[in-house]
Structure 1
Amino acid sequence: MTEEEGAVRERLEADRRATTARIATLRGDRDEIVASASSSADDEHDPEGTSTAFERAHLQALLDQALAHLAELDRAEERLRDGTYGVCASCGRRIAGERLSILPATTTCVACASKRRR
């Protein structure tokens, strides 16, 4: 393993640890809301007046995003193993190291990502 590959693996693993911790926190928060809603006489609203259903849906959406990101990290590790990590899936050019440092699971270069946003 090269030094660069080692650094990539470290970034991916750090991202994985942070994402896994976020998932655990979100699941705990969601479960707490579900438990408090089922034990409350007014299961439609919490004491502050916000909808319990909205809070639960919001936490579920954040949890779904975190789980999707974890799957992206898995795919990034696969690309690292098969030698395609850092290659843009759209144009086939190298993805800039700076972009990979910030978004280690990204599959597109800046130019292709910008085209998609238009």
Structure 2
Amino acid sequence: MEEARVLLEAQRREALRRLASLTGDFHEVVAASRDSNADDEHDPEGATIAFERSQVTSLVQQVERQLAEIEAAFERLSTGRYGICERCAQPIPPARLQARPAARTCITCAALSST
């Protein structure tokens, strides 16, 4: 379980680094649009600014979801449920946990969920 904790902590650090970078990017996009006299509706560049803002917002939300999954994995670690599939209650193979430390399901159940 110590290996899982180390992997999850590394993922958390990386996600927080990406979140900080994306937040900075978002503030730059907002500042750039604020400093211009363009409005998104009538300026040809406005669509680009709106797209960039939307894209960065989506990426921030993706990282926030990843952080929530990592925190949930830490909770499973603390309660002894880490490495147990939430769907079939079978052990999640170590190779899957190595590749995706925050995995909630085994490969079989993950495949069933995506169909």
**Which TM-score applies when normalising by structure 2?**
0.92
The answer as to 2:103 corresponding to 1:97 is no
Q: Residue 25 of structure 1 corresponds to which residue in structure 2?
A: 21
1:6-27 deviation per Cα after TM superposition (whole angstroms, max 9, x unaligned): 1111000000000000000000
Q: Residue 83 of structure 2 corresponds to which residue in structure 1?
A: 86
**Which TM-score applies when normalising by structure 1?**
0.90
Counting only pairs closer than 5 Å after superposition, residues 50-89 of structure 1 correspond to structure 2 as 51-89=48-86
- CA distance, structure 1, for counterparts of residue 14 and residue 90 of structure 2: 29
- Alpha-carbon RMSD across the aligned residues, in angstroms, is 1.5
Question: CA offset at residue 42 of structure 1?
Answer: 2.1
Counting only pairs closer than 5 Å after superposition, residues 6-45 of structure 1 correspond to structure 2 as 6-44=2-40
Give the 3-state SS of the residue equivalent to 1:27 in structure 2: helix
1:50-86 deviation per Cα after TM superposition (whole angstroms, max 9, x unaligned): 6101110110011001011111111100100110000
Identity of aligned residues (%): 39
> Which stretches of structure 1, 4 residues or more, deviate above 4 A after TM superposition?
none
Asked whether the equivalents of residues 89 and 108 of structure 1 are also in contact (C-alpha less than 8 Å), the reply is yes
Give the 3-state SS of the residue equivalent to 1:51 in structure 2: helix
Question: CA offset at residue 41 of structure 1?
Answer: 2.1
Unaligned runs of 5+ residues in structure 1 are none
Task: Name the amino acid aligned to 1:42.
Answer: A
Task: Name the amino acid aligned to 1:14.
Answer: A
Higher RCO (CA < 8 A, seq sep 6+):
2
**How many residues in Structure 1 have an aligned counterpart in Structure 2?**
113
